[in-house]
Structure 1
Amino acid sequence: MTFPAPLSGVVPPVCTPLTPDREVDVPSLLRLLDHLVGAGVHGLFVLGSSSEAAFLTDRQRVRVVEATVAHVAGRLPVLAGAIDMSTPRVLDHVASVTAAGADAVVVTAPFYARTHPAEIARHYRLIAEASPVPVVAYDIPVAVHTKLPSGVVLELAAEGVLAGLKDSSGDLAAFREVVTGVREQQGITDFSVLTGSELLVDAALALGADGAVPGLANVDPDGYVRLDRLSRAGDSDGARAEQERLCALFGLVGVGNPGRMGGSSSALGAFKAALHLRGVIDCPVTAEPQVQLSADEVAGVRTFLVAGGLL
Structure 2
Amino acid sequence: MTNSAPFGRALCAMVTPFTESGALDLDGAQRLAGHLVARGCDGLVLSGTTGESPTTSDTEKAELVRAVREAVGGRGTVVAGVGTSDTRHTVELAVAAEKAGADGVLVVTPYYSRPPQDAVEAHFLEVADGCGLPVVLYDIPGRTGTRIEPDTLIRLAAHPRIVAVKDCGYDFLATQKVLSRTELAYYAGCDEHNLALYAVGGAGFVSTVANVVPDHLRAVLDAFDAGNTAEAARLQRAATPLIEAMMSAGLPGSVTAKALLNDLGLPAGPVRAPLRAARQEAQEGLRRVYEELVSA
TM-score exceeds 0.5: yes
The reply on whether 1:230 has 2:215 as its aligned counterpart is: no
Q: Residue 15 of structure 1 contacts residue 51 of structure 1 at CA under 8 Å; is this kept in 2? A: yes
Within 5 Å, give how 1:200-219 maps onto structure 2.
200-219=193-212
Aligned partners of 1:7 and 1:192 also within 8 Å: no
Give the secondary-structure state (helix, strand or coil) at the position aligned to 2:80: strand
**Where does structure 1 lack aligned partners over 5 or more consecutive residues?**
183-187
- In the alignment, what sits opposite 2:239? 246
1:274-308 C-alpha deviation (Å, 9 max, x unpaired):
1122221263x111111221222211121112111
Structure 1 position 180 matched with structure 2 position 195: no
248, 251, 254: which one aligns with 1:268: 254
Tell me the equivalent position of 2:38.
38
Q: Deviations over 1:1-30 (max 9, x none)?
A: xxx963341111111111111111222212
TM-score, normalisation: structure 2: 0.93
C-alpha distance in 1 between matches for 2:113 and 2:221: 38
Counterpart of 2:169 in structure 1 is 169
Classify 1:310/1:12 alpha carbon distance in 2 versus 1 (closer, same or farther; 3 Å): farther
CA distance in structure 2 between the partners assigned to 1:272 and 1:43 by the alignment: 19
**Following TM superposition, by how much is the alpha carbon of 1:157 offset from its aligned partner in structure 2, in angstroms?**
0.9
Task: Please state if 1:287 is matched with 2:272.
Answer: yes
Residue 158 of structure 1 and its aligned partner are, at CA, apart by 2.3
8 A contact 1:230–1:239 mirrored in 2: yes
Structure 2 segments unaligned to the other structure (5+ residues): none
CA distance in 1, matches of 2:69, 2:8: 19
Mapped to 2, the partners of 1:138 and 1:282 lie a distance apart of 24
Q: Distance in 1 between matches of 2:247 and 2:109?
A: 28
Aligned to 1:108: 108
1:124-143, aligned counterparts within 5 Å?
124-143=124-143
* Contact 1:255–1:300 (8 Å) recurs in 2: no
Q: C-alpha distance in 1, partners of 2:49/2:248? A: 19
**Residue aligning to 2:93:** 93
**Partner-residue secondary structure (3-state), 2:54:** helix
**What is the distance in 2 between the residues matched to 1:62 and 1:7?**
19
* CA deviation after TM superposition for structure 1 residue 108, in Å: 1.4
1:19 maps to which residue?
19
CA distance in 2, matches of 1:122, 1:134: 16
Rate the CA distance shift 1:308–1:116 in 2: closer, same or farther, 3 A.
Answer: same
Query: What residue is the counterpart of 1:185 in the other structure?
Result: none
User: Aligned equivalents of 2:245 and 2:231: distance in 1?
Assistant: 23
Tell me the SS of whatever aligns to 1:74: coil
The equivalent residue for 2:292 is: 307
Does the 8 Å CA contact 1:125/1:161 hold for their aligned counterparts?
no
Q: Is the 8 A contact 2:5 2:203 kept in 1?
A: no
Q: Counterpart of 2:187 in 1: which secondary structure?
A: strand
Count, aligned residues: 293
Counterpart of 2:264, as a letter, is R
- After superposition, the C-alpha distances for 1:67-117 in whole angstroms (9 at most, x for unaligned) are 111111222221101111121010111122111111111111222222111
Identity %: 26
Q: Distance in 2 between matches of 1:59 and 1:6?
A: 27
Deviates more, 1:56-65 or 1:223-232: 56-65
Letter in 2 for 1:252: A
CA contact (8 A) 2:69 2:101 kept: yes
TM-score of the two chains, using structure 1 as the length reference: 0.89
Q: CA deviation at 1:161?
A: 4.4
CA RMSD in angstroms comes to 1.9
Aligned partners of 1:174 and 1:153: how far apart in 2?
10
Change (3 A) 1:62 1:310: farther
Query: 2: distance between equivalents of 1:175 and 1:150?
Result: 8
Residue 83 of structure 1 corresponds to 83
CA contact (8 A) 1:23 1:60 kept: no
For residues 166 and 255 of structure 1, the distance between their equivalents in structure 2, rounded to whole angstroms, comes to 19
